[in-house]
């Protein structure tokens, strides 16, 4: 019989707070660095795109190795080491005075983030008991959602009131807080069967968890659409004459995303993944269709809420499915595989759908996003049909 461990114990709280401050740093910089590039480094919009791409490329590269290192060297060791690198690269922003140095730093910062975010998820997914895993991961990813609201808000306030030196110093404090909370958590390492430390050859199967691939691919397809939220919604709002309320779209999106994660994890655990995923896919689809036809401020904000409800339940559900389908000693590789497909989807989606918008318009682009959700739903159905097992119902 499974030993029941309280969900909100010292280890889980420590990892949630570590993750919150980690993503506070990332989400603060995503919003404010474009202003730094334009106003301080005197560069153009092209260089803004390069700074975002550099961070993503660094994260994607490390994802290939992160899971293997986490499982073989130990989750806690990799977490602490990558947090130290993350903190050092964050402090280095204080000495940046050229776009070249910024791009190099963004690659290193992205690599550190790719490693530490994989480690935090791998550890957090091990703490909840099987019967509460969906609920636990929902609460854990809630810490990311809170940072989506508070990070940009606080960051923009600091920049408008003080300067970027203060901003980078505050972000450095966030990373120190993440490090201290990570030290709180005790991690039970799962030994890798037949692991020989003298034979650490990099093989494809050591970097990618095959059992995680089906759901990771479904996530990749969905993220193609999701990539347009931060990239194109502000520009779309301007084209509709709603630029002055674009920020409130993200508030509505984040509020509903946070609200849904507070209870859908329990539904996942009690009734199974399909009871959460299929309704969420329908809501997500309707959100994209609605966004393509909005004209009024109310409808624009309402679609932010609808998309937030849909996506807010899908991401933690897919993470739970990935970790539940993989053996304990491969959870690090499984988590790395999931985030690898996530990062690639973000990068590819922003480029491809940007091309769609360029040759047609934003309304058509968001209709294509709705079509992408239909394709993702088909693939999810095929995955569930092939496994013939709905994870959850007390056994996630």
- Nearest partner of 362 among 294, 306, 302, judged by Cα: 294
Q: Which residues of the chain have pLDDT under 70?
A: 1-5, 45, 49, 188-206, 231, 388-396
Distance CA 324, CA 329 (A): 12
3-state SS, residue 147: helix
Whether residue 387 contacts residue 311, with contact meaning beta carbons closer than 8 Å, is answered with: no
Query: What pLDDT was estimated at residue 137?
Result: 81
Whether residue 276 contacts residue 309, with contact meaning beta carbons closer than 8 Å, is answered with: no
Tokens at 147, concatenated: 């940072």
The overall pTM is greater than 0.75: no
Distance CA 19, CA 179 (A): 10
∠ CA 236-241-244 to the nearest 5 degrees?
A: 90
In the chain, the domains with their CATH numbers are: 1-189 (1.20.1250.20), 208-396 (1.20.1250.20)
DSSP 7: S
Whether residue 102 contacts residue 50, with contact meaning beta carbons closer than 8 Å, is answered with: no
Q: How buried is residue 103: exposed, middle or buried, by Cβ count under 10 Å (0-12/13-18/19+)?
A: middle
Tokens at 52, concatenated: 């975002």
Q: How buried is residue 78: exposed, middle or buried, by Cβ count under 10 Å (0-12/13-18/19+)?
A: buried
Q: Which DSSP string do the residues of 48-98 spell out, in sequence order?
A: HHHHHHHHHHHHHHHHHHHHHHHHHH-HHHHHHHHHHHHHHHHHGGGG--S
- How does pLDDT run across 131-184, given as a tens digit for each residue? 777 778 878 888 887 887 788 778 888 988 899 999 999 999 999 999 999 988
Distance CA 375, CA 368 (A): 11
Phi, psi of 41 (to 5 degrees): -85, -10
What is the greatest pairwise CA distance in the chain? 64
Query: What pLDDT was estimated at residue 1?
Result: 45
- How does pLDDT run across 271-328, given as a tens digit for each residue? 888 999 999 999 999 999 999 999 999 999 999 999 999 998 898 889 888 877 777 7
Distances (CA, A) of 304 to 34, 113, 199, 287: 23, 27, 50, 8
Whether residue 124 contacts residue 182, with contact meaning beta carbons closer than 8 Å, is answered with: no
Distances (CA, A) of 260 to 138, 139, 307: 9, 10, 11
Distance CA 325, CA 312 (A): 21
């Amino acid at each position: 019989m499974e030993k029941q461990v309280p969900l909100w114990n010292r280890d889980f709280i420590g990892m949630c707070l570590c993750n919150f401050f980690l993503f506070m740093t990332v989400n603060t910089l995503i919003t404010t660095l474009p202003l730094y590039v334009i106003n301080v480094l005197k560069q153009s919009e092209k260089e803004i795109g390069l700074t975002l791409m550099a961070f993503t490329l660094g994260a994607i590269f490390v994802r290939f190795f992160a899971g293997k290192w986490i499982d073989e060297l130990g989750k806690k060791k990799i977490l602490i080491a990558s947090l130290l690198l993350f903190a050092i690269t964050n402090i280095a922003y204080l000495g940046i005075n050229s776009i070249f140095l910024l791009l190099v730093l963004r690659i290193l910062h992205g690599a550190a983030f790719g490693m530490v975010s994989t480690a935090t998820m791998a550890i957090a997914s091990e703490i909840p008991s099987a019967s509460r895993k969906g609920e636990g991961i929902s609460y854990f990813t809630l810490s990311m959602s809170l940072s989506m609201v508070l990070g940009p808000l606080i960051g923009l306030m600091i920049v408008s009131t003080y300067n970027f030196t203060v901003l980078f110093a505050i972000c450095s404090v966030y990373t120190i807080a993440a490090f201290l909370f990570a030290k709180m958590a005790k991690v039970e390492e799962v030994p890798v069967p037949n692991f020989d430390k003298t034979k650490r050859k990099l093989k494809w199967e050591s970097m990618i968890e095959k059992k995680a691939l089906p759901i990771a691919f479904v996530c990749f397809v969905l993220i193609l659409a999701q990539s347009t939220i931060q990239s194109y919604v502000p520009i779309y709002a301007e084209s509709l004459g709603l630029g002055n309320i674009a920020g409130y779209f993200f508030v509505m999106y984040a509020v509903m995303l946070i609200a849904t994660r507070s209870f859908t994890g329990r539904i996942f655990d009690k009734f199974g993944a399909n009871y959460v995923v299929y309704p969420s896919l329908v809501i997500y689809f309707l959100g994209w269709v609605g966004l393509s036809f909005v004209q009024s401020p109310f409808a624009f904000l309402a679609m932010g809420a609808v998309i937030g409800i849909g996506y807010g339940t899908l991401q933690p559900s897919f993470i739970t499915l990935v970790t539940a389908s993989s053996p304990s000693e491969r959870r690090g590789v499984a988590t790395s595989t999931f985030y690898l497909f996530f990062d690639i989807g973000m990068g590819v989606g922003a480029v491809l759908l940007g091309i769609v918008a360029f040759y047609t318009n934003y309304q058509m682009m968001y209709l294509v996003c709705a079509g992408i959700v239909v394709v993702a739903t088909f693939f999810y159905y095929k995955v569930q049909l092939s496994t013939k097992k709905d994870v959850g119902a007390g056994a996630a």
